[in-house]
Amino acid sequence: MLARAGGTVAATDRDVLTVSGLPAERIGALLSGHAVPFSEVSAHRASLEEAYMELTRDAVEFRSEAAR
pLDDT by position in tens, the chain (length 68):
999 999 999 998 888 999 999 999 999 999 999 999 999 998 887 788 888 888 888 887 766 776 66
Structure confidence by residue, pLDDT tens digits, 31-44: 999 999 999 998 88
Q: What is the pLDDT of residue 63?
A: 66
DSSP E strand stretches across 1-68: 8-13, 16-20
In a domain, 3, yes or no: no
**Tally of domains in the chain:** 1
Q: What is the pLDDT of residue 32?
A: 96
Q: Which domain holds residue 34?
A: 8-55
In a domain, 63, yes or no: no
Q: What is the pLDDT of residue 68?
A: 61
- DSSP state at residue 11: E
